[in-house]
Chain A
Amino acid sequence: AQSVSQHNHHVILSEAASLELGCNYSYGGTVNLFWYVQYPGQHLQLLLKYFSGDPLVKGIKGFEAEFIKSKFSFNLRKPSVQWSDTAEYFCAVIGAGNMLTFGGGTRLMVKP
């Protein structure tokens, strides 16, 4: 079965710091990749997605992610975080059996 690993469970940054959240998956075939965000008290929202084409994907709110097939990775980045980016971030993959599998999540806290 495929799996998704998010290495950082908790990240604390100051405003204007750069962000990179790691995501690795285990499936070797064709994959679709997603990052979702869950702001406090709100439902999961899609940040960005990769289906095919340019491996550098730009999403909402200044986030981007890069698909590196050789590393089975899809890391999320933002050059300068804001206090409003405080949330939990989930990486997800559709791969084996067309199942949508999520990572364990990363809680980001941005200090003002």
Chain B
Amino acid sequence: DGGITQSPKYLFRKEGQNVTLSCEQNLNHDAMYWYRQDPGQGLRLIYYSQIVNDFQKGDIAEGYSVSREKKESFPLTVTSAQKNPTAFYLCASSAGWGTNTEAFFGQGTRLTVV
């Protein structure tokens, strides 16, 4: 089945550690996105990538990093610089960038800092 796979589903991190969240899609989509979901704040864009080997900062990129070495993969690293990393992280992809496209979402990764 085509779709977006995020792993792991739950992740615990000690303060001061970096951690990487995986996102893989087999939809042959060019664009991929990372959102952070917090209660009452909706989804906020962290990073996005329109095409392989290119990515741009979203609204809340500080303390995060990404790479896009392959079309199907867009991993997100939560660094120790992120002051409040406990959240639900959603990865999405779309066929293109901009209008007349819709985004498809993975099941999410819940990150907890302990």
A99 surroundings in chain B (CB, below 8 A): 45, 58
Distance between A25 CB and nearest chain B CB, rounded to angstroms:
12
Q: Is B43 an interface residue (CB 8 A)?
A: yes
CA distance A94 to B58 in the complex (A): 14
Q: In the complex, A34 Cα to B104 Cα: how many Å? A: 12
Asked whether A105 and B106 contact (CB < 8 A) given A51-B99, A98-B99, the answer is no
Is A102 in the interface zone, CB < 8 Å from B? yes
B42 and A102 within 8 A (CB): yes
Measured between beta carbons, the chain A residues less than 8 angstroms from B33 are 100
Chain B proximity of A96: nearest CB distance (Å):
11
The 0/1 profile, CB within 8 Å of A marked 1, for residues 78-114 of chain B is 0000000000001010100111111111111000000
How far is it, in angstroms, between the C-alpha of A46 and the C-alpha of B104 when the chains are bound?
8
* A44-B90 in contact (CB<8A): yes
Decide: A102 and B35 in contact? CB cutoff 8 A.
Answer: yes
Residue of chain B at shortest CB distance from A5? B42
Residue of chain B at shortest CB distance from A43: B107
B98 with A94: CB separation less than 8 A = yes
**Given A44-B105, A90-B43, A102-B35; A51-B100 close (CB under 8 Å):** yes
Q: What is the bound-complex CA distance between A43 and B43, given in angstroms? A: 13
Contact A46 B108 (CB under 8 A): no
Q: Say yes or no: is B17 at the interface (Cβ < 8 Å to chain A).
A: no
A30 / chain B contacts, CB cutoff of 8 Å? 99
With A32-B99, A51-B99: A43-B108 Cβ-Cβ less than 8 Å = yes
Q: Is B41 at the interface (CB under 8 A from chain A)?
A: yes
Residues of chain A whose beta carbon lies under 8 Å from any beta carbon of chain B: 1, 4, 6, 9, 30, 32, 34, 36, 42-46, 49, 51, 90, 92, 94, 98-105
What 3 pairs between A and B have smallest CB-CB spacing?
A98-B98, A44-B105, A102-B43
